[in-house]
Structure 1
Amino acid sequence: MTNSNTFKSEEINQHIVQWLLDYANNAKVKGFVVGISGGIDSALTSTLCAQTGLATLCVEMPIHQHQSHVNRAVEHITQLKNRFPNVSDIRTDLTPVFDAFTNQVEQNNDRNTLDITLANTRARLRMTTLYYHAGIRGLLVAGTGNKVEDFGVGFYTKYGDGGVDISPIADLVKSEVRLLAKHLDVPESILNAAPSDGLYENDLTDEMQIGASYDELELAMQQFEAGKTENDFVGREAQVFKIYKRLNTINQHKMNPIPVCEIPKNLK
């Protein structure tokens, strides 16, 4: 975990906000759109975008959403609008869209595979929605993934929440996200909530899905990058390292560029 005494919250805050501002100005866009889930990553990202002074659209996209997520999202958006006049919000209920889709496609008898596929479908419907709102307003879609999710275990949906224009917090691990969010006065209800991707109706937490907490995964990520192997650990540390390595390996297809079959010049 990152030490709160050495983490330079204000300097990092200013750096990210300036980066966002420079990128938007160079791209000649009006601002940003952020999907608000009720979680800490989207709360931090939207607050950073709001600090640029550019238009920041917060989008709620419920799909049979757990009420606690809805409540936290509404609390955050209300607070952000009160703090920043450049923030607006819109709610696009995707439940009927999702239901119509599921009624038109075949159902797999393997319940686990079906649940995961439908969870990814929710994320991809939300990506499409964010790009629609961004497109008609001249905005960039700001991603909400952190470093452990995006470059460690690949805990996101390809072409879902992984489909974004920019990633302002993707170089921050989860403990750093928490420190910066606290510095920026993100609501306590969000700071204290168990991380969840919100893609399941039964409110599965990230830790329940992955099998390890973000604090554990951060340590495993550091150890992996330092060249450690599973044989260097025992007990719970070895178990978490194995979880990290497995997810990092199978999710490389998300982190690397799309493979392109290059045709030899003598064949063209």
Structure 2
Amino acid sequence: MEISQTRCIGCGNCTYVCPMGAIFIDPETRKARINDDACVECYACYNGLSREVLPPKTARLARRLSKKLLLRFDPDPDICPTSAFEPDDLAWPRIVRRAFSDPRVPHESTGIVGRGTEEVKTNDVSGRIGIGQVGFTVEFGRPGVGARFSEIQVMSRALARIGVAFEPKNPVTTLMSDVATGDIREDILNEKVMSAILEIKVEVARTEEIVRAVWEVEKQLDTIIVLGVGARCDENGDENVVAPILERLGYKLHRAKTNLGLGHKTLRLIAPEEFERPPLAAALS
């Protein structure tokens, strides 16, 4: 994203919209600029502000006159009064930033928008996590913080060393140069995104091992790490296998989601012989 220096009048409205704090008012020119390194191409500035087309010279003159008269001439805080934002034609590897940071943009590798994964939250439909297995999502970054692929690679390499398999449909996995080692393509290692997710699944017996491995690696990273856990429920809709392990490790658990399968109950009542009971899934946090 670029800000036209001929159209910008330095109102500063856009500085409050950027979730990464990448927009600032240049003290020399008194116009808004974007820190390209901090920008994750989320387009929150371009899409979050209404755009008017006031002539820049007129708007600047009105501001100067108002200042001399000790009056304020500031546009509404949700408006770019001169439509100064100019989206770039993003090329590789920078385009990766937008794919992970703008929730409306689909990943070319998966066809899914946002961070590009259904995760384990749709396990009732996908059956990704089987009986005796546990799924983990390791999320990197948050608005205001973000994460670089070099940081994600530290985690993916550590997990690969202990013999875990990465979810092939995950967009981070598709960007690995070597899935067996967790290596990510060198040309995107310095790219920054608002957030991204690694996904793995292991046998339940390895739950504590994985949690402790994530704990160890996150100490080395200058970003936020959020660990999500998904497990299969029993026939009564309870999860009493993985939860005790997490509680022993110090987590206070609250069930985030329980998925039954869209329309499953109704369909079974209509034609029970045509449908098998799908697996229940509990997401613990």
Q: Same fold (TM over 0.5)?
A: no
Higher helix proportion, which one? 1
Mark the structure with the bigger radius of gyration.
2
Higher relative contact order (CA 8 A, sep 6+): 1
Higher strand proportion, which one? 2
TM-score using structure 2 length: 0.28
